[in-house]
Amino acid sequence: MEYPRTGSMHCPFEGGAVSLRWHEWGPASGKPVVCVHGLTRNGRDFDVLAQALAAQGRRVICPDIPGRGISGWLPAGMLYAVPTYVAVLTPLLAELGDYDWVGTSMGGLIGMGLVSLPFDRLGRMVLNDIGPFIPEAALARIRDYLSHSPPRFANLAAVEAHLRLVHAPFGSLSDAQWRHMAEHSARMTADGAMHLHYDPRIVEPMQAGPLSDVDLWALWDWTVSRPLLVLRGEHSDLLTAETAARMDQHGNTTLATIKGCGHAPALMAADQVKLIVDFLAG
């Protein structure tokens, strides 16, 4: 098994700076693919996909968005928002030049934010179970889940049991894949307890006021100005069938529904990986 390299960069944003860290696969000379995870996840979710893309000669960069994994935490909870993430990623992306993008949920929203910028050099784009419209009810479900006190775990087996429950919509994963996810989803504190590997303050922007539908259709013309693959979990409440069908009306868009999944497909199954590898190969 190939093991990833790690990289880091001190990245500014309005009001401060933070350490951005990532795992990287494949030849340094390969055309970059940036893979960005969902709200509470981290870049190691892409290990299976990254190795498949690296085998095709691609340089695959999987950042931990600030507040998650091995990246630094932001100084205030209200900073955990897409504009901050776009600002933090911009120095890394500027060094890459032309690149492709795979974004799961929040990672897809960040990608949609990037394509509206004048210096955008993003080529092919994969949106995993996310689109320009998110229903209020789905946001409320996520907010309510995150608003509970973050659980403490006695050991890695307890972490894995928790992830199997809360991330069941990811689809059918092998025992080894669940264990891999658990190993990279928790950190141990000085008291010997294990905690999920994200800053619990990431929920604060969702708690700041009444929720409403997120409507980003104004960004859609920029988003579909490049080849686009949209993956939708068959039972997803975040990317509804109606929104996916509207996204699919543009000629640059390819829509694939992933059976047996909700929000969001884990991108570890061979058929899901093949969809993305083939799409990014053009």
* CATH code, domain with 53: 3.40.50.1820
The CA-to-CA distance between both ends of the chain, in Å, stands at 27
Max Cα-Cα span within the chain: 55
Residue 111 has what pLDDT?
97
- Category of 57 on φ-ψ map: left (φ > 0), alpha (ψ -120 to 50) or beta: left
Residue 96 lies in a domain: yes
Q: What is the model's pLDDT at position 148? A: 86
Look at residue 191 and tell me whether its pLDDT is greater than 90: no
Residue 149 pLDDT > 90, yes or no?
no
Is 242:232 a contact under the CB 8 Å cutoff? no
Mean local confidence (pLDDT), 74-80: 96
Q: Walk across the sheet containing 32-36 and list its strands.
A: 5-13, 16-25, 59-64, 32-36, 99-104, 122-128, 228-233, 253-258
Specify if 23 maps to a domain.
yes
Count of CB atoms situated within 10 Å of the CB of 154: 10
CB neighbourhood size of 174 (10 A): 10
Is 227 part of any domain? Answer: yes
pLDDT digits (tens, 9 = 90+) for 204-218: 999 998 999 999 999
d(C-alpha 34, C-alpha 217), whole Å: 23
- What share of the chain in percent tops pLDDT 70? 99
Domain contains 83: yes
Distance from chain centroid for Cα 244:
18
Q: Is 187 inside a domain boundary?
A: no
Instruction: Decide: pTM greater than 0.95.
Output: yes
The overall average pLDDT reported for the chain is 95
**What average pLDDT does this structure show over 8-34?**
95
What percentage of the chain exceeds 90 in pLDDT? 91
pLDDT at 170: 98
224 to each of 77, 128, 137, 217, 258, how far by Cα in Å? 32, 15, 26, 11, 21
Per-residue pLDDT at 135 = 98
Task: Tell me what pLDDT residue 251 has.
Answer: 87
Identify the domain containing residue 124 by its residue range: 5-135+216-280
On whether the CB atoms of residues 125 and 228 are closer than 8 A, the answer is yes
Rounded to an integer, what distance in angstroms lies between the CA atom of residue 30 and that of residue 281?
12
Retrieve residue 46's tokens.
């892409």
Q: Band of the pLDDT at 2, cuts 50, 70, 90?
A: low
pLDDT of residue 150 exceeding 80: no
Residue 1, pLDDT > 60, answer: no
Q: Going by C-beta distance under 8 Å and a sequence separation of 6 or more, which residues neighbour residue 218?
A: none
Q: What is the average pLDDT across 131-145?
A: 97
Token pair of 122 as six digits: 């993003």
Residue 179, burial from CB neighbour count under 10 angstroms (0-12, 13-18, 19+): middle
d(CA 186, CA 266): 18
Whether residue 189 lies inside any domain: the answer is no
Map tokens 């991108």 to a residue: 267
Residue 175 lies in a domain: no
- Structural element, H or E, at residue 146: helix 136-147
Contacts with 222 (C-beta within 8 Å, 6 or more apart), sequence order: 112, 115, 116, 120
pLDDT of residue 160: 97
Total domains in the fold of the chain: 1
N residues, the chain: 282
Per DSSP, which regions of the chain are E strands?
5-13, 16-25, 32-36, 59-64, 99-104, 122-128, 133-134, 152-153, 186-188, 194-196, 214-215, 228-233, 253-258
pLDDT (mean) for 20-29: 97
What pLDDT does 15 receive? Answer: 81
Does any domain span residue 97? yes
User: Does pLDDT of 179 surpass 60?
Assistant: yes
Give yes or no for a contact between 227 and 252, defined as CB atoms under 8 angstroms apart.
yes
